[in-house]
């Protein structure tokens, strides 16, 4: 038995030597060996995994997402209160949107007088009110099945261009209050240098 | 008879990382583009409550004392302050605004232009003095002329919320109520 084993080892070692010799020869001739070259990817994987975890952690989970544009210059503020999941009213230089759905257009910081009630001088913006009533109805339906969603009922986040005149702001707030919104949150870009709680 | 065994083949124990690498390389640019580039925050604002005036004064208020009803009205000339329905007069200019505009840089179309700006530091100082006299009061009413820009409203809210005393921050009037414009 022991002899048999020894024989096997000899055969193995012989074949190994032959193989290595063949490889060396091939290398000398410049012929590629059979085994493909392998990259050490461990360190790269480490970096990428750390980067991935970091990015996933810092991934924006804000309740409000704003795409910056020249049409919407959000003012800076010193508050650090975090936005919540509410109905969002966006007033840009060219339009008023409710939850990213267009309500009506804005021109030179004013809405078309015919869209208001009473016309021209009124504070009540008819198309905006209609959309806000729909939005609060939707919120109510959600709150009926999910009570935790009910705490944002009647709260609206207002994203407004910094150059919007005060008149349009009051019109939007008046219209929203007519649709039973009583609390408002003005969205600002947090000024990191002056932050407070 | 000796059996001829085939030499055992070397097993490749390396993990095949290619699919994982593919996934990570797709996820990283996706997350990088979706990463928040600016921190957003909110200011809580209320509208005036419509309803019968409360006949019972707050417990810390003397029965004969009027409610403070601290109001800031923004106009082109500056800021007018009202307390207990009375104008807080500017001693230097009794007919002018309580806090007139000062020389500074105004932002027009995103660029700073020399001009007159609101004096927020003076506002904060005045409000701090009012807070000393009325330590429990937290409400402030803000209104403005119809063409006053939204950015100034936000800045007035910031100036009236708190005062920095060195490293300490002192809360002034954090509860903002926005009223309709100045006629």
Residue A101 within any structural domain of the chain: yes
Residue A67 within any structural domain of the chain: no
Residue A181 within any structural domain of the chain: yes
Residue of chain A whose alpha carbon sits nearest to that of B21? A45
Q: Is A20 on the interface with B (CB under 8 A)?
A: no
Say yes or no to pLDDT of A195 above 50.
Answer: no
Q: What is the pLDDT of residues B37-74, one digit of tens each?
A: 678 889 999 877 654 544 445 555 555 677 888 999 99
Average pLDDT over residues A153-158: 92
The CA distance from A60 to A106, in Å, is: 30
Whether residue A188 sits in one domain with residue A97: yes
Q: What are phi and psi of B47, to 5 degrees?
A: -100, 160
Does residue B149 contact residue B111 with C-beta atoms inside 8 Å?
no
Does residue B152 contact residue A164 with C-beta atoms inside 8 Å?
no
Give me the sign of the Cα torsion angle B107, A121, B176, B71. Answer: positive
- Nearest C-alpha of chain B: how many angstroms from A30? 24
Whether residue A171 sits in one domain with residue A99: yes
**Considering only residues 30 to 49 of chain B, which have any Cβ-Cβ distance to chain A shorter than 8 Å?**
31-32, 34-47
Nearest by CB to A173, which of B3, B21, B178? B178
Task: Select the residue from B150, B164, B170, B176 to test the A interface by mutation, using most A Cβ atoms within 10 A.
Answer: B150
Lowest mean pLDDT among A155-159, B23-27, B52-56: B52-56
Average pLDDT over residues B127-137: 91
Q: Quick check: B42 and A66 CB within 8 A?
A: no
Say yes or no to pLDDT of A80 above 90.
Answer: no
Distances (CA, A) of B127 to A128, A135, B91, B157, B172: 36, 38, 16, 12, 7
Whether residue A118 sits in one domain with residue A145: yes
Q: What's the token pair of residue B37? A: 């580039």
Nearest by CB to B148, which of A66, A83, A166? A166
Helix (H, G, I), strand (E, B) or coil at A49: helix
Residue A116 within any structural domain of the chain: yes
Q: What is the pLDDT of residues A29-38, one digit of tens each?
A: 555 556 777 7
Q: Is A120 on the interface with B (CB under 8 A)?
A: no
Q: Quick check: B42 and A83 CB within 8 A?
A: yes
Say yes or no to pLDDT of B152 above 90.
Answer: yes
Q: Mean of the per-residue pLDDT values for chain A?
A: 83
Whether residue A156 sits in one domain with residue A88: yes
Q: What is the reported pLDDT for A197?
A: 39
Q: Is A150 on the interface with B (CB under 8 A)?
A: no
Whether residue A86 sits in one domain with residue A53: no
Q: What is the reported pLDDT for A92?
A: 94
Report which of residues A188 and B32 the model is more confident about.
A188
Report which of residues A191 and B155 the model is more confident about.
B155
Whether residue A175 sits in one domain with residue A81: yes
Q: What is the reported pLDDT for A60?
A: 59
Q: Is B145 on the interface with A (CB under 8 A)?
A: yes
Which 8-state DSSP code applies to residue A107? B
Q: What is the reported pLDDT for B156?
A: 94
B161 contacts: CB under 8 Å, gap ≥ 6: A78, A79, A196, B171, B172, B173, B174
Whether residue A91 sits in one domain with residue A30: no
Q: Quick check: A188 and B110 CB within 8 A?
A: no
Count how many domains chain A has.
2
Say yes or no to pLDDT of A196 above 90.
Answer: no
Q: A27: domain range?
A: 2-58
Say yes or no to pLDDT of A18 above 90.
Answer: no
pLDDT band at A171 (very low <50, low <70, confident <90, very high): very high
A109 contacts: CB under 8 Å, gap ≥ 6: A93, A163, A164, A165, A167, A168
User: Could you report the predicted ipTM of this complex, rounded to two decimals?
Assistant: 0.77
Whether residue A184 sits in one domain with residue A97: yes
Q: What are phi and psi of B172, to 5 degrees?
A: -105, -90
Query: Which residues in A lie closer than 8 A to residue B181 (C-beta atoms)?
Result: 166-167, 170
**Which of B108, B106, B100, B104 shows the shortest CA–CA distance to B77?**
B100
Residue A64 within any structural domain of the chain: no
Whether residue A110 sits in one domain with residue A15: no
Whether residue A159 sits in one domain with residue A92: yes
Does residue B39 contact residue A174 with C-beta atoms inside 8 Å?
no
- Nearest C-alpha of chain A: how many angstroms from B111? 13
pLDDT band at A194 (very low <50, low <70, confident <90, very high): low
Q: What is the reported pLDDT for B165?
A: 82
**Which of A126, A124, A184, A195 shows the shortest CA–CA distance to A154?**
A184
Residue A63 within any structural domain of the chain: no
Whether residue A106 sits in one domain with residue A22: no
Whether residue A175 sits in one domain with residue A141: yes
């Amino acid at each position: 038995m022991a002899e048999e084993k020894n024989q096997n080892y000899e055969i193995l070692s012989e074949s190994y030597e032959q193989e290595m010799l063949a490889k060396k020869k091939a290398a000398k001739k410049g012929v590629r060996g059979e085994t493909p070259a392998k990259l050490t990817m461990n360190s790269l994987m480490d970096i990428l995994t750390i980067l991935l975890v970091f990015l996933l952690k810092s991934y924006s989970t804000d309740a409000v997402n704003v795409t910056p544009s020249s049409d919407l210059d959000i003012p800076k503020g010193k508050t650090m209160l975090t936005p919540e999941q509410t109905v969002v009213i966006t007033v840009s230089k060219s339009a008023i949107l409710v939850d990213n759905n267009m309500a009506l257009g804005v021109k030179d910081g004013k809405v078309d007088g015919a869209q208001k009630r009473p016309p021209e001088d009124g504070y009540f913006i008819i198309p905006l009110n209609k959309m806000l009533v729909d939005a609060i109805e939707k919120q109510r339906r959600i709150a009926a099945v999910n009570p935790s969603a009910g705490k944002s009922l009647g709260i609206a986040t207002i994203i407004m261009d910094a150059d919007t005149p005060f008149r349009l702001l009051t019109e939007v707030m008046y219209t929203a209050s007519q649709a039973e919104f009583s609390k408002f949150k003005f969205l600002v870009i947090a000024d990191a240098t002056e932050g407070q709680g | 008879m000796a059996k001829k065994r085939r030499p055992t083949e070397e097993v490749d124990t390396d993990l095949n990382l290619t699919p994982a690498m593919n996934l990570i390389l797709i996820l990283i640019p996706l997350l990088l583009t979706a990463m928040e580039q600016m921190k957003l925050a909110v200011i809580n604002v209320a509208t005036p409550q419509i309803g019968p005036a409360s006949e019972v004064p707050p417990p810390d208020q003397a029965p004969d004392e009027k409610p403070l009803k601290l109001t800031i009205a923004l106009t082109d000339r500056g800021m007018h302050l009202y307390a207990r329905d009375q104008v807080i007069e500017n001693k230097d200019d009794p007919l002018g605004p309580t806090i007139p505009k000062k020389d500074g840089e105004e932002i027009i179309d995103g660029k700073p232009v020399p001009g007159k700006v609101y004096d927020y530091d003076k506002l904060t100082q005045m409000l701090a003095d009012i807070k000393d006299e009325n330590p429990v009061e937290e409400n402030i009413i803000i209104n403005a002329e119809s063409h006053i820009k939204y950015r100034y409203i936000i800045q007035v809210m910031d100036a009236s919320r708190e005062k920095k005393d060195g490293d300490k921050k002192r809360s002034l009037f954090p509860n903002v109520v926005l009223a309709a414009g100045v006629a």
